[in-house]
Amino acid sequence: MTLSLRNTLIKVILTVSITFFLFYFITILFLTRDNSFSLIQIETILRGMPDSFKSSSIGYTLFWTIITASVLFGFSLITSLLLFHYFKKKISPEIFFFVLFIISLSLQSVRLFQFQLLILHVSPFFGVIVTRVFYFFRFFGVFCFFASSLFPIGIKFQKFGTILLSIFLLSFTISALMPIDLTDMNRYFLYNISDRTSLLIIILSVRVLTIINFIRVAITTKSRNYILVLIASILIISGDELLLIFPIPLVAFSMIFSGTVLYSRSIYNFYLWI
């Protein structure tokens, strides 16, 4: 895959992310104009869902879900554009997949569309689609970050296309086939996965393999830059997981932001000398 094609792919995916945001923003404006969109109304609807939320925490969870998704979208978009600007002429394969991982964070904000679906009282079928799309982007991001750890251990640059296609197909297959319980919604405003244990095992296994790959590179190259990349990857992975654990994700954001700066600077410095 040529450098030009890689840059084009990043532009296309960034365009998809921006399109998602614009569509969401337009639908919110439309519903607000008709006095159809109200956080109080969403909270009332959620209180009627059995076992999904504790009544005392719905408003709190709703507020931080919107804040988290919005900040994450802004961070992802701005960071992706900056990385693309600084690395668009460099051959770094790690950065290509790392940028895709960062963009996937913004695409995971698709879960906010659940609010419109709740307000419009549409069939849960469409909410299930939103849930599957969210997990597609989440798996896509997890696998892309894993792919960024493969090239320093000897994967050929010519395998770009094959790896990217494999990531796409694998993410699509898992998200399309996983069993979803449309009678229950979790506090992330996604329908619950019936087999959450298997999902967790898959994600954590890929995360661990990613860190192992970077440990191997840091040990074999004895490069200060890759030692910093290892530290950065641990910060980013930890922060990404904590986003779905902490009710107020300030610590998680700090870890992702610090890790991203450290990762990109270290890779940039490494490729300055080769």
Task: Give 4-20 pLDDT, tens digit per residue.
Answer: 777 888 888 888 888 88
Three-state DSSP state, 69: helix
Confidence of residue 1 (pLDDT cuts 50, 70, 90): low
pLDDT of residue 37: 63
pLDDT of residue 136: 95
- Whether residue 100 has pLDDT greater than 70: yes
Q: How many Cα atoms occupy the beta-carbon half-sphere of 65 within 13 Å?
A: 22
Nearest to 118, CA basis, from 65, 177, 174: 65
Q: How many Cα atoms occupy the beta-carbon half-sphere of 121 within 13 Å?
A: 5
- Whether residue 52 has pLDDT greater than 60: no
**Mean pLDDT confidence for 248-273:** 82
Q: What is the pLDDT of residues 125-175, one digit of tens each?
A: 898 999 999 999 999 999 999 998 887 765 655 577 788 899 999 999 999
pLDDT of residue 35: 64
Three-state DSSP state, 182: strand
The Cα–Cα gap between 87 and 4 comes to 12
- Whether residue 225 has pLDDT greater than 70: yes
185 backbone dihedrals φ, ψ, rounded to 5°: -115, 135
pLDDT of residue 101: 93
For the chain, give the percent of residues with pLDDT over 70. Answer: 84
Q: What is the pLDDT of residues 189-202, one digit of tens each?
A: 788 888 888 888 99
- Whether residue 250 has pLDDT greater than 90: no
- Whether residue 77 has pLDDT greater than 50: yes
The DSSP code for 248 is: S
The Cα–Cα gap between 226 and 220 comes to 10
* Helix (H) / strand (E) containing 184: strand 180-185
- Whether residue 272 has pLDDT greater than 70: no
pLDDT of residue 274: 47
pLDDT of residue 54: 56
Chain-wide mean pLDDT for the chain? Answer: 82
